[in-house]
Structure 1
Amino acid sequence: MERGSAPRLFGTNGIRGVPNRDLTVEFAQSIGKSIGTFFRAREVAMGRDTRLSGQMIMGAVQSGLNSTGTDTVDLGILPTPALQYYCKNTGMPGVMITASHNPPQYNGIKCIDSDGSELAREKEREIEVIHHSGQFHSADWNSVGRNRWDSTAEELYVRGVASRVSVDRIRASAFRVALDTGNGASYRTSPELLSRYGASVTTLNSNPDGLFTARPSEPVEANLKALISTVRSGGYDLGVAHDGDADRCVFVDERGQFVDGDRSLALIVRHTARNGDVVVTPVSTSDAIEEVCSEVGARVVRTVVGAPVVIRTMIETGARVGGEENGGVIFGPHQYCRDGAMTMSLVLDLMARTGRKLSELLKEVPEYHMFKASVERKKPWEEVLPLVLKYAEGRKVDRTDGVKVFHENGWVLLRPSGTEAIIRIYAQSRDRGYARELGEEYREFLEGAQLR
């Protein structure tokens, strides 16, 4: 079968859909067979987040893997980066059942390579080709795979994260932290880390709830009112929030002010990148990253949106740090993946090392304002794209990913989501009002353009 003829299944971050509608048991089992045929590994590690459909989808993928003669190692509910750390340390490939920040009705299948990084796009393509061809490896009856349980992954991960910071220094600071795990996969690991750091911790939504009853999974300001209110009640040094699979982390400073992931990324880069380093980030990140890197003598490399591409570029260029504007920081010395607990630990270590509050540290970061929105994608992106280019005629345009249009006092990026049927809008300016105005202008344009 020709590689180019196989329709795409993997989006920006794995395969996603609504169980029993897009993500049926039969489909998940077929993907399991495809993964097993592709890897031809003796064992594959598996984990899941707290979603209600997790066991069902995981069981289907497991049976598909078993049919190819592949054993699976069930690590239970744990953050995606914890599964990735397990894969890195055991040399096993892995499969994570998660839809990350998406609403609770979604779930997904994400493949992890044996080095712990998200599977490269070309390897995902191979799995798609196998799935569409139906040419699966089928083991003899006495060689089918079996499943075993391993309860050590969480402790391995927590120790690994803690080993990258000065635990004694953080403990000496005796931080007070409010932590919102959003009923997701970090409900055990992040509280445990903070306990080892000697922090006094108030937890919010730190119980597994696959319906995300307390708040939507995505850790944006509108969804973190309870955390912000808790920090504002006084006496806290930091507020921390994760998404459903805890590969992201955002902060609330000691005054109760929400900190956009774009700014926390720039802050970490400023104190981590060194002269001559490469810092990798997608085109959706603000220009603050360029200014920060210029200060320390590092070079910025821009990529398309999506952690797998950022990670591959980091590996290829030897970058120590990179990440996305959504709270997804990638710290290479630990592992090449977005890691919410590592991000939390880096910020606590920075606060302990400098003896400064987060709000004070953020004064070092150039202030750019980001406005984010989305519109339902009613037409194929290929039909919308010419209309966008015509609307942007006469302006500088970057086509790295979607269309990034530069205006005199800011820019706007329009790109089709790789996980949902929407077009994402990112607008940036030093002026908060102008960023919103620019984003709203293009939202109105997109809504009208799709009616033509």
Structure 2
Amino acid sequence: MSLKFGTSGLRGLASDLSGKPSFTYAAAFATFLLRNRIAQSGDRVLVGYDFRDSSPAIAANVKLALREYGLEAVDCGHLPTPALAFYGIRTAAASMMITGSHIPADRNGIKFYLPDGEIDKAHEQEISAIAQELDDLEIPASAAPAPGTEMAAEASALFMERYRTLLPEKCLSAMRVGVYQHSTVARDMMGAILRHYGAEVIELGRSDVFIPVDTEAVSPQTVAVLQKWASEFSLDAIVSADGDGDRPLITDQTGVPINGDICGLIAARFLGAEAIVTPVTSNSGIETFGMRVIRTKVGSPFVIAGMKEAMAGGKGVVGFEANGGTLTASSFKVATGSLEPLPTRDCFLPILAVLGSAASAHQSLSALKLGLALPSTAADRLEDFASERSATLMTGLRSNRGNLENFVAPLGRLSEINELDGLRVTLDNGRVVHFRPSGNAPEMRCYVEADSAEEAMEVLKIAMDLLRGFNAP
């Protein structure tokens, strides 16, 4: 069975999660909530899901298990993960999101939330252990589908209300923004909030078939389409999100994507953050902006743990990942109100912060990015890179400095090594190359930094060729 907890929630093949496994993990979560007195019998648990073909059936199993274990399943329908989590926080309810996020359609997953936010790594271990205890559990043959209370409209409306105070009224009225809708559950809400601020919205690429969009490593084919749209419709930006709406995709006026960590940095500066928590994969130039920076492993549970650490030493704490998903641990004063904490990844905050920052400065998005004077970065992933193969590579490179020096020799001479998450090496020519096995799928990810965009792409190509050479039969 492929199921395991990764950087954000339980993930695996949809065929492995459907049926008994999804019932078992939902039962394990219910048991976890009751054992730890986080919930009592009869309490509500919210359930949301994305547009994958496998998600409704998995959600039905989840709702059935919750009912069988004495909890009330609240069906929140198709909505973004941050909207579900925010509704849970505001109504003091645990929640479960059925989504595989950005990974291919034949895979799926479950994200788990407590009434105060996302579960951490210790909680994952406890839920997994309970699932092992319940391994012989069978779905009750006579059980009818759990009806559940439907609250999709209320949950969505509450999240829209959160973002109606972030920017000044009609501040995007001079902007023409494309919304790449594809199959993200954020698509309709995204267009609505942009129109609220006066933007002219052009809807693009809506699909009834699930399309996996990885906002951290946008494919060349997708970039080509985005650039075509940007030119064809004279757009100031194109925005989108991954399948469950917790990771943003933002392009400039030419259709070129702006890296997620840059979007997160702009959001932190927009809010006036005092501290930033971000994984080691994010741009190294973030440390130059005068905010306290805490680096973590990749994954929202690690960022959330880092934000708790940062809150102990102050306030004004924002977290974000290289994929752009932005989290808040503090309340922030915004244009016409207060933005309350939402300690889970969210695509809406960075999208609105980037567009709002460009509009208020009367700048294009490319000029806004250029003004930050950050090192140039690039990222990609090599699919079908078996976990066993990536483990062999990492072990070999870590065990002997000579092995690592030889492996990266085509890129430069080894200078510094960071093993916080994968292998991140700094070379004597200033280049940075980071090899990291994915926590969600059989993939190897690669992140690079260099002095220019052209050099970054050159470094990335060489680094990816090194990975392909290792993975070759």
Q: Which residue of 2 aligns with 1:428?
A: 449
Residues in 1 aligned to 2:269 and 2:248: alpha-carbon distance in whole angstroms: 18
Counterpart residue number, 1:246: 245
Q: How does 1:104-123 map to 2 (within 5 A)?
A: 104-115=105-116, 117-123=117-123
CA separation of 1:65 and 1:102: change in aligned 2, threshold 3 A = same
Q: 1:265-311: CA deviations, max 9, x gaps?
A: 3333344345xx221110111112122x2xxx212111001122112
Alpha carbons 1:113, 1:119 under 8 Å: kept: yes
The alpha carbon displacement at 1:128 in A equals 0.2
Moved more, 67-76 or 394-403: 394-403
Count of aligned pairs between the two proteins: 430
Q: Distance in 1 between the 2:113 and 2:89 partners?
A: 9
* 3-state secondary structure, aligned to 1:258: coil
Task: Classify the secondary structure of the residue corresponding to 1:309.
Answer: helix
Which residues in structure 2 correspond to 1:74-113 (within 5 Å)? Answer: 74-113=75-114
Query: How far apart are residue 264 of structure 1 and its match?
Result: 2.3
The residue aligned with 2:9 is 14
Q: Is 1:368 matched with 2:369?
A: no
Aligned to 2:306: 313
Query: Residues of 1 paired with 2:458 and 2:194: CA distance?
Result: 40
- Aligned sequence identity (%): 28
| CA apart distance, 1:380 | 5.1
Does the Cα contact within 8 Å between 1:288 and 1:365 map onto a contact in 2? no
Matched, 1:384 2:393: yes
SS of equivalent residue, structure 2 residue 73: strand
Residue 196 (structure 1) shift:
1.3
Cα deviation digits, residues 7-50 of structure 1 (max 9, x gap): 98211111122222x22311111001101101122111010011
Deviation at 1:180, TM superposition (A): 0.8
Query: Bigger shift: 262-271 or 76-85?
Result: 262-271
Deviations 1:161-219 (A, max 9, x none): 222332x1515x34221111222101221111112112211111346x2433xxx4224
Aligned to 1:38: 32
Structure 1 residues 247-286: aligned runs within 5 Å: 247-274=246-273, 277-286=274-283
Query: 1:415 is matched with which residue: 436, 439, 443?
Result: 436
Q: 1:69 Cα shift?
A: 0.7
Q: 1:325 aligns with which of 312, 315, 322?
A: 322
2:201 match: secondary structure: strand
* Contact kept? 2:80, 2:185, Cα under 8 Å: yes
Counterpart of 2:195 in structure 1: which amino acid?
S
1:46-68: per-residue Cα shift (whole Å, max 9, x none)?
10011111111111111122211
| Corresponding letter in the other structure for 1:326 | N
Aligned equivalent of 1:29? 23
Note the 1:330-345 alignment, pairs <5 A.
330-332=327-329, 333=331, 334=340, 335-345=342-352
Query: Are the structure 2 counterparts of residues 162 and 312 from structure 1 closer, same or farther at C-alpha, using a change threshold of 3 Å?
Result: farther
Counterpart position of 2:167:
165
Give the TM-score of the pair, scaled to structure 2.
0.83
Given that 1:181 and 1:187 are in contact with CA atoms closer than 8 Å, whether structure 2 keeps it comes out as: yes
Partner SS state of residue 123, structure 1: helix
Cα deviation, residue 448, structure 1: 4.4
Higher mean C-alpha displacement, 297-306 vs 343-352: 343-352
One-letter code of the match for 2:213?
S
Cross-structure match for 2:410: none
The separation in 2 between residues aligned to 1:381 and 1:221, in whole angstroms, is 22
* Aligned-residue offset at 1:411: 1.3
Cα deviation per residue 1:393-447 (whole Å; 9 max; x = unaligned)?
Answer: 5642111111111112221111221111122111211233443444444444444
The letter for the 1-side match of 2:27 is K
CA contact (8 A) 2:248 2:347 kept: yes
Q: 1:406 corresponds to which residue?
A: 426
Query: Out of 289, 292, 295, which is 1:299 matched to?
Result: 292
Aligned letter for 2:434?
L
Partner of 2:286: 289
Shift of the 235–435 alpha-carbon distance from structure 1 to 2, 3 Å rule, reads closer
d(CA) in 1 for partners of 2:136 and 2:193?
42
* 1:17–1:106 contact (8 Å) kept in structure 2: yes
Matching residue's letter, 1:230:
W
- 2:326–2:347 CA contact under 8 A, matched in 1: yes
Asked if structure 2 preserves the Cα contact closer than 8 Å seen for 1:273 and 1:279, the reply is no
Could you list the runs of 5+ residues in structure 2 that have no partner in the other structure? 332-339, 406-413
- Residues 8 and 125 of structure 1 are in contact (CA less than 8 Å); yes or no, is this contact kept in structure 2? no
CA contact (8 A) 1:415 1:423 kept: yes
Distance in 2 between residues matched to 1:211 and 1:282, nearest whole Å: 29
Instruction: Let me know the Cα RMSD of the aligned residues.
Output: 2.7
Q: Select the residue among 346, 349, 367 that pairs with 2:353.
A: 346
In 1: Cα distance, 2:353 partner to 2:58 partner? 34
* Residue 357 (structure 1) aligned with residue 364 (structure 2): yes
Correspondence list, 1:148-163, <5 A: 148-150=149-151, 151-163=153-165
* Counterpart amino acid of residue 383 in structure 1: T
Paired residue type of 1:31: Y
Listed as ranges, the gaps of 5+ residues in structure 1 are 1-6
Distance 2:326 2:186 in 1: 16
Residues 1:80 and 1:224: Cα distance change in structure 2 (over 3 Å) = farther
Question: Quick check: 1:68–1:136 contact (8 Å CA) kept in 2?
Answer: no
Higher mean alpha-carbon deviation, 339-348 vs 366-375, is at 366-375
Corresponding residue SS for 2:118: coil
- What is residue 3 of structure 1 aligned with on the other side? none
With 148-157 and 236-245 compared, the bigger mean Cα shift is at 236-245
The one-letter amino acid of 1:180's match is: Y
Q: Deviations over 1:300-333 (max 9, x none)?
A: 1110011221122113312522211222222443
Q: Cα 1:75–1:285, aligned 2, differ >3 Å: closer, same or farther?
A: same
SS across alignment from 2:104: coil
What amino acid is aligned across from residue 324 of structure 1 in structure 2?
E
| Matched position secondary structure for 2:281 | coil
